[in-house]
Structure 1
Amino acid sequence: MSEAAIPQPHPSPGQKLHPFEVILRLCAKTAPQPWYPRVYAQSIGISPDALYEYLEDLWLDGLVRKAGGSPETGPGVTLTPAGRDVLDDPAAMRRLREGRAVIAGDRGGIVREVVRRSEKPVVSRILLGVNLAWFLYSLYLAWVESGAMGFLSSGFLGDVDHLDDILARSGALSGQFWAQGQWWRLATSCFVHIGLLHLGFNMNFLFQAGKVVEQMWGRLRFLVIYAFAGLGGGCLAVAMQPQALLAGASGALCGVIAAEAVWVLCNGRYLPRSLAARWRGNLTTNAILIVGISLIPGVSGWCHLGGALTGAAVALVMQVQRFGPSPWRWAVLLALVPLPWLGYGLIEHERATNPHWAPIHRLPNDDPR
């Protein structure tokens, strides 16, 4: 619904009121009697549903409350003392118009900023650019060495004999590389992609989900979640699949989706019910899609699982850091310190006990498999 869909009660010349302010002023105009949204909507020829989204937001902010009505009028709405204060406070009204929390630090208001405001997804775009640049580097290596078609088609067309070598030179991860001490490939492998289809799917996912989750958590928290999830996915994948050559942003992206789920589960009660239900439905669909993709031969389900578990764990830490009691908000970040060591310990444990690592130990040191 556009803001102009609600006629404005006597604005100043050239002034355009936000629907929130329009509703508050209409409630103030009828006080002490309730204002009836259904009657008002019928009088100006719009659907009452056009008002209910705004009314639910104002109710969640504690600025209006429900009042009695009749079958003809429907339920009424009256201002709360907080609503009257906002009408009298230009600074508070400005925050309301801008989609910010009316009361500074109010958790519900901060949560609702995610749907009321639209921030530029800077981190998501930077990550998208880095992934694309990395792919172009891999494409250059493929073109110089054996032609680009085999690489672009993920090995389905053209010369595929050098594909593993190109991926290895681009920064892909395997158990042999780990055994050689090349731990940094846990990070670089998150930016390596095997062909256009692999890149296109992951980058579309990053573009669509990244801008939403970055808005939810904020830029720095989103970057921390993405980075830890990528490392967590790589740790579990190389521990359980040491003979595979691992590449792609899938682990980090599964962590992003897990972080979105944590945010909705922890903060959904502060959102309009229809929106929270829609988000839960989308998350369920994404989870089913990811599980299905993880079962495809050649796809590392372990990477997806590791990324999702790590992303969820880091998101819980970020939730406490953002909304927890003041003494714990920064201390809780210490919980992130052991995570890299847990990943290292997992890989070394599997390396010592998992029979899949035995062939790795017999390979010469310069064999990348």
Structure 2
Amino acid sequence: MTNPGWGGGPGDGTPLQPRCVRHPDRPTGLSCTRCGRPACPDCLRPASVGQHCVDCIAADNRNTAAVRTVAGAPVRAGLPTPIVTYVLMGINVLVFLVTAVQAKSLLDNGRGLINPFTGAAVFDSQLFGRWVLSPIDVANGDWMRLLGSGFLHFGLLHLAVNMFALYILGRDTELVLGRSRYVAVYLISLLGGSAAVMALSGDGFTAGASGAIFGIMGAQAVILLKLRRSPAPIVAVIAINVVISLTLPGISFWGHFGGLAAGAAATAALLYAPQWFGAGQDRVKAVRIGWIGLGVVAVGTLGVVGLRVAQLRSEYGL
């Protein structure tokens, strides 16, 4: 009969000596202060009292709930990188460069002319012409414009202002909501801006990420309310931007308003719907209810678009 946890013995004149439970070939005089098993220095970690073996630490980590934000996203150690925000900025910049190359202009990449015979717009940039938000074209089945227009910008200054705002506002919002929820809120906000333009604006052309950025502002206001902190700073920023939208020509107020409303509604669905529908401490149920809430907001936004499309098709016989 053998005992691999001990070495030596009376037969060879040496005293019994414990050996590491994970490395039977290593004699040791140390042990885990939690489970008491012998362990070598490589298998022990300092603890508040004594030292614990790696098996006990792993078991403790499995039984300890991860620290999460108010939206249920895991809190990452150190300085986490807002990857999604940077990716969204990169996509916007890339799309702008493509349109600038096609139009051969950094400042007038969205230049277009109306064909007097067909009434259609002809843009110097083919991509700009295919993605810019035009209610009539959406009603004619060009649905890509609802999202694609949110990645287009009229000139370098328009791009720079929106990307700076996205950089300032998006990073913290992403870390609180988590990457997947943040993407969902961003896209729903963008869609909300397009829906408002479709329903309440004229037949002009609209483009820019500002609808989605207003949605991020709305999301931050809801997050602060959920944390029981004053939303006054972000509300002031929203108010200033609303005034700018109303007073300066060439800015789509309805695109901003729609994005703001959709972003706030989507974030409220994430943060408050689980509480309203009795999820309690059940995190899985809370996540499921939150995503269902996001789906409801998205479907409602698409419903607004659908009603406007039906109206336009009836008016123009499309």
TM-score range, shorter chain: 0.5 to 0.7
Q: 1:87 to 1:185 in 2, by over 3 A?
A: same
Alignment of 1:190-339 (within 5 A): 190-268=150-228, 276=229, 280-295=231-246, 296-320=248-272, 324-325=279-280, 326=282, 327-339=285-297
Q: For each residue in 1:88-129, what CA deviation from the matched residue of structure 2 results, as whole angstroms up to 9, or x when unmatched?
A: 6999xxxxxxxxxxx735668999x97995310100000000
Deviation at 1:246, TM superposition (A): 1.1
Answer with 338-347 or 183-192: which moved more. 338-347
Q: Where is the helix percentage greater, Structure 1 or Structure 2?
A: 1
Aligned residue type for 1:151: D
Tell me the number of residue pairs that the alignment of Structure 1 and Structure 2 aligns: 246
Is 2:270–2:294's contact at 8 Å kept on the other side of the alignment?
no
Question: Which amino acid is the alignment partner of residue 347 of structure 1?
Answer: V
d(CA) in 1 for partners of 2:96 and 2:88?
Answer: 12
Residue identity in the other structure for 2:80: E
- Aligned to 1:151, the other structure's residue is in SS state coil
User: Cα deviations across residues 275-310 of structure 1 (Å, max 9, x unaligned)?
Assistant: x55xx3431331122212211222111111111111
Contact persistence 1:321–1:329 (CA under 8 A): no
Q: Pick from 97, 119, 131 the counterpart of residue 80 of structure 2.
A: 119
- In the TM superposition, residue 137 of structure 1 has moved relative to its aligned partner by 0.8
| Change in 2 beyond 3 A, CA 1:89/1:240 | farther
Asked whether the equivalents of residues 215 and 260 of structure 2 are also in contact (C-alpha less than 8 Å), the reply is yes
Q: For 1:153-207, what per-residue CA distance to the aligned partner results, in whole angstroms no more than 9, with x for missing partners?
A: x76xxxx648962374251111111121011211101100000111010000011
Rounded to whole Å, the distance in 2 between the matches of 1:228 and 1:311 is: 7
Q: 333-342 or 188-197, which moves further after superposition?
A: 333-342
Q: 1:183 to 1:90 in 2, by over 3 A?
A: farther
Q: Report the aligned-residue RMSD.
A: 3.5
Separation in 2 of the partners of 1:214 and 1:316? 15
Larger Rg: 2
Amino acid at match of 1:142: A
Distance in 2 between the 1:301 and 1:319 partners?
27
Question: Aligned pair in 2 of structure 1 residues 164, 285: CA closer, same or farther (>3 Å)?
Answer: farther
Partner AA of 1:169 in structure 2: G
The gaps in structure 2 that reach 5 residues or longer are 1-46, 53-63, 115-120
